[in-house]
Amino acid sequence: MTLVGRAALLLAFASALYAVGAALWSRRKGRRELLVSAERGVWAVFATTTTAVVVMWILLLSNRFDVADVAGYSNRTLGWRYKITALWGSQAGSLLLWMWFLSIAAVLVVITNRTRNRALMPVVVAVLMGIAVFFTSVLSFFTSPFETVSPVPADGRGLNPLLQNVYMESHPPLLYVGYVGLSIPFAFAIAALVTRRLDSTWITSIRRWTTLSWMFLTVGIILGSRWAYEELGWGGYWAWDPVENAALMPWLMATAFLHSVMVQERRGMLRIWNMVLVILTFTLALFGTFLTRSGILSSVHAFGESTLGPYFLALIIVVLAGSFALLISRLSLLRSENSLESYVSREAIFLYNNLLLVGLAFAVFWGTMFPVLSEAVQGQKITVGQGFFNQVAAPIGLALLFFTGVGPLIPWRKASPRELRRRFLWPLVVAVIAVIPAVYFAQDGAHWWAALAIVLAAFTVACIVGEYWRGATVRHQLGGVSWPGAVGQLFTRNRRRFGGYIVHLGVVSIIVAIACQGAFSSQGDLALRTGQTGEVAGYQFTNEGGTRTRDDHKMSVGVALGVSEGGNRFATLNPGVDVFTAQMQRSSEVAVDTSPFRDVYVVLVGLTPDGLARISVFINPMMMWIWVGGLVMVLGLIVAVWPSRRPREAAARAALGADGRVRE
Amino acid sequence: MLASAGVKSRSRFAIALTLAVGLGAWLIWTSIGGSLETYTNPSGLVKTTDATTYRLNGTVAPGSPADAAERAQTAEGLRFTVRDKDRPSVTVPVAYRGSVPDAFKDGREIVVTGHMENGVFQAERGTLITLCPSKFMEEQAAKGKTMPDGMPKEPAGT
């Protein structure tokens, strides 16, 4: 069985190598037909990688403990679902998963471009398969998921209990889909540079890929924070850990790219800048993998030091040097078609938004890499505390929030002062009204920035609602469409724009939640015997008795806590601690009572045999709106990428005066 | 991007951009100043006499209390010893209060922020971090442990 897996990976390596060669050769005169052969090579890579993944799953499910990664990350008592997810518990397995996603993405690119972009495809295939060559060679020659051990252990070590939950089942694959997806804009960018076809075609062909990858990255990051919040039991969700930063940096770059692309499509500007963003986004995605796999930085979840660091570093250097050399050689072809006419125009706002996002990514990079840099320069490893990241991210985040509101209301090219006054009147009124509750919340003045976030959020929401209002009014009055029909038309006729605004609403929700949690959360520890009551931040907690259970998998203790506020009992929380017997590993089971305005978050620290429960309580205001905001963002993205009706059909419907309701 | 700069005068755009970058650099510079902590290990700490704040990295020496999480909430706090990763003979006692990660146990690599006071590393509240390998193999192999066949003993206090 392991032989089948190894053979499949070797074949994948060979096929990828062949596809690179055939694709590049097909660019020679009279060798066109080789491209089809190269594309068959892509299918072969997909088929062989899939075989390897299936083999790995069979090994995991059939408890083949002679395989190192099965023995290391699974055991007999592990449920079948976690046996499936144990695939990406190991280093080799997670690289295999990445490679599998890459092969799927490459096949999708081949399928969707059978008749389009034929001139770009040879280079696109070569780049994607070049990345595949790297991953399959690492998987074949340096860290094989099919390594065997002897003597064969009687049982496996089991999967880290921290990873045994739904968030860890979904978070790594989602992030990987996002990372892999970002390699496709990169491949198209390189193809456009190589073939000198630098018009906007390559950008429109990958628009949906970029948006979807960005969506997966977003969901991956949010589920990761949700995991940290529910599993790690420290009451927070984000700690600027190197691994978190590794996922955030490509996300920030991709966000900048998603916005600046519109400037290129509309005005033919920022063409070099977009190339730089695509290249840096992909490099940062690789860099993220390098950070987590190299052990260069200590992290809460440094995945065990490995020897893969140098290989990834080499790949990153090759990608960076190659791409930028290519870019420089094509600079003369990337002249801007237009120039910036005013500092108050849509394109200018996009430019500010880009500078802020890239600036933040740079600051995060700087802060993350500071220990490595200081050690190289001074010989002393100096780390940067969370305070640095918060201090930099807060003002940049607020400025971004401001531009989120302002941007869509400012016309392209140049804005007339009269038009601006008309459009911003109501949002400004709303913002001024919002100052009152904001000042009330920030009584002591120390939380002025949280108050500012609330005011800016109100302003931004008003701007977005105004956009819908204006759009719908025009359609209602000029098109004679009913009100609901007019709003529906906004989504069907201009999906990207109005879907994008929904994404913005999600972002506003998340920023407000982050600001409120950061400013107004409170924490307290209690030691309660059975029947005793203690208080934290106005909430009373009563110990109503502990429980102890054990099965062949784990030992558990728990405590029932009655929670009340001002004599009104509103919840019973049951925090607990599991100790997994296979590894003698503790795992806290936090209990959370969620309401729109706050989370009551309780961790059981310990329970003595005589019934003394020690608990940690966190009151986190507005926490729910981080997750709600994430959901809203996904919704908006689905609206934005949903395929539009075919132009002909849409035109026919418009001619018939159809009602324009959303039918999908 | 500079190629797109055609607003009235190119120099004005350059000035605006320089200002923006300057402002960003200033923000990074001032923010970084207040949050720098030097990484150190027990060997590095032995020499220090001042009260500089350090991030101490090492492994938990054998003999740490099984009810570490609970002790860290008491008034006396949690006392444990951190051992140098490279020179196991060098250790530093640590006094800590606040939340203790689940992964905390003998032999686990940790990072904690604090300063030296009378030969004891006084940790700041809630700064204890465990570096959590998703892999169990090396650490178990290192201890020469075989897989437990019977049930391990219930740790005191949980």
Reported in sequence order, the residue ranges of A280-425 that DSSP labels E, i.e. its strands, are: 382-384
Q: Which residue, B147, B138, B132, B135, is CA-closest to A92?
A: B135
**Average pLDDT estimate for A110-117:** 91
**Average pLDDT estimate for A484-492:** 82
Instruction: Indicate the average pLDDT of chain A.
Output: 87
Residue A146's contacts (CB-CB under 8 Å, 6 or more residues apart) are A2, A5, A6, A9, A55, A56, A59, A67, A69
Residue A339's contacts (CB-CB under 8 Å, 6 or more residues apart) are A269, B4, B5, B6, B7
- Cβ pair A614:B36 closer than 8 A: no
- Cβ pair A607:B132 closer than 8 A: no
- Cβ pair B39:A383 closer than 8 A: yes
φ/ψ (deg, to 5) at A251: -65, -45
Burial class of residue A255, CB neighbours in 10 A (0-12, 13-18, 19+) = buried
DSSP string, A609-621: TTSPEEEEEEEEE
Q: What is the pLDDT of residues A518-572, one digit of tens each?
A: 888 999 999 999 999 999 999 999 999 889 998 877 889 999 999 999 889 999 9
The pLDDT, as a whole number, for residue A300 is 56
Tokens of A16: 């990828």
* CB within 8 Å of chain B, chain A residues 228-287: 232-235, 269-273
Is pLDDT of A650 > 60?
Answer: no
C-alpha distances out from residue A138 to A414, A475, A562, A647, Å:
52, 57, 54, 46
The pLDDT, as a whole number, for residue A445 is 67
Which chain B residues are closer than 8 Å to A368 by Cβ?
none
For an interface test with B, the pick among A69, A605, A610 (most B C-beta atoms closer than 10 Å) comes out as A605
d(CA B31, CA B29): 6
- Residue A130 in 3-state DSSP? helix
CB atoms within 10 A of CB A483: 11
Q: What is the pLDDT of residues A83-94, one digit of tens each?
A: 999 898 888 888
The pLDDT, as a whole number, for residue B14 is 79
Which chain B residues are closer than 8 Å to A616 by Cβ?
73, 99
Q: Does A372 touch chain B (CB under 8 A)?
A: no
The pLDDT, as a whole number, for residue A302 is 46
Q: Does A531 touch chain B (CB under 8 A)?
A: no
The pLDDT, as a whole number, for residue B143 is 35
Residue in this structure with the two tokens 């850990």, named with its chain if needed: A241
Q: Does A382 touch chain B (CB under 8 A)?
A: yes
d(CA A623, CA A14): 50
Confidence of residue A178 (pLDDT cuts 50, 70, 90): very high
Which chain A residues are closer than 8 Å to B102 by Cβ?
162, 232-233, 585-588
More confident residue, A608 or A506: A506
State the alpha helices, DSSP H only, in A443-595: 448-479, 483-493, 495-520
- Cβ pair A388:B147 closer than 8 A: no
Strand order through the sheet with A598-607: A522-528, A613-621, A598-607, A591-594
Superfamily grouping for domain B38-142: Nucleic acid-binding proteins (2.40.50.140)
Q: What is the pLDDT of residues A385-399, one digit of tens each?
A: 888 898 889 999 999
Name the residue of chain B whose CA is nearest to A352's CA. Answer: B20
Tokens of A246: 């590794």
The pLDDT, as a whole number, for residue B8 is 55
- Smallest Cα distance from B127 to chain A, Å: 11
- Cβ pair A586:B152 closer than 8 A: no
- Nearest Cβ partner for B111 among A298, A362, A550: A298
* CB within 8 Å of chain A, chain B residues 24-63: 24, 27-28, 30-32, 34-39, 55, 57
d(CA B67, CA A433): 52
- Smallest Cα distance from A347 to chain B, Å: 10
Tokens of A10: 């070797």
What are the b/e assignments for A628-661, b being 16+ CB within 10 Å? bbbebbbebbebbbeeeeeeeeeeeeeeeeeebe
The pLDDT, as a whole number, for residue B155 is 30
Confidence of residue A188 (pLDDT cuts 50, 70, 90): very high
The pLDDT, as a whole number, for residue B136 is 38
The pLDDT, as a whole number, for residue A295 is 60
- Smallest Cα distance from B27 to chain A, Å: 7
The helix or strand, by DSSP H or E, that contains position A208, with its residue range, turns out to be helix A207-231
- Cβ pair B67:A269 closer than 8 A: no
Pairing of strands A554-565, A568-573: antiparallel
Which chain A residues are closer than 8 Å to B4 by Cβ?
269-270, 273, 336, 338-340
The residues with which A556 forms a beta bridge, in sequence order, are: A549, A578
Could you state, in order of their start, the residue ranges of all structural domains in chain B?
A: 1-36, 38-142
d(CA A625, CA B157): 37
Name the residue of chain B whose CA is nearest to A589's CA. Answer: B102
- What does pTM read for this prediction? 0.88
Which chain A residues are closer than 8 Å to B30 by Cβ?
391
Which DSSP state fits B152?
A: P
- Cβ pair B5:A339 closer than 8 A: yes
d(CA A70, CA A92): 11
The pLDDT, as a whole number, for residue B76 is 85
Q: What is the pLDDT of residues A195-205, one digit of tens each?
A: 999 888 888 88
Tokens of A7: 């053979």
* CB within 8 Å of chain A, chain B residues 85-114: 99-105, 109, 111, 113
Which chain B residues are closer than 8 Å to A233 by Cβ?
99, 101-102
- For the question of an ipTM over 0.85, the answer is no
Contact A94, A172 (CB under 8 A): yes
The pLDDT, as a whole number, for residue A11 is 97
Q: Which residue, B63, B86, B87, B67, is CA-closest to B78?
A: B67
Predicted confidence pLDDT, tens digits, chain B (158 residues): 444 444 456 777 778 788 888 888 887 777 777 778 888 888 888 777 777 888 888 899 998 888 888 888 888 889 999 999 888 889 999 999 988 888 888 888 888 989 888 889 999 988 888 875 544 333 333 333 332 222 222 232 32
C-alpha distances out from residue A322 to A279, A311, A318, B29, B56, Å:
10, 16, 6, 32, 40
- Nearest Cβ partner for B147 among A153, A303, A608: A153
Size of interface A-B (CB pairs under 8 A): 183
Which chain A residues are closer than 8 Å to B64 by Cβ?
none
- Smallest Cα distance from A21 to chain B, Å: 35
d(CA A114, CA A187): 16
- Smallest Cα distance from B83 to chain A, Å: 17
* CB within 8 Å of chain A, chain B residues 115-134: 126, 129-134
d(CA A229, CA A617): 13
Tokens of A254: 């991709």
- Smallest Cα distance from A662 to chain B, Å: 39
Which chain B residues are closer than 8 Å to A333 by Cβ?
none
Q: Does A334 touch chain B (CB under 8 A)?
A: yes
- Cβ pair A386:B35 closer than 8 A: yes
Number of H helices, E strands in chain B: 4, 7
* CB within 8 Å of chain B, chain A residues 140-179: 153-155, 157-158, 160, 162-163
Residue B63's contacts (CB-CB under 8 Å, 6 or more residues apart) are B81, B106
Which chain B residues are closer than 8 Å to A234 by Cβ?
99, 101, 126
Confidence of residue A297 (pLDDT cuts 50, 70, 90): low
- Sign of the dihedral through C-alpha A116, A120, A121, A124: negative
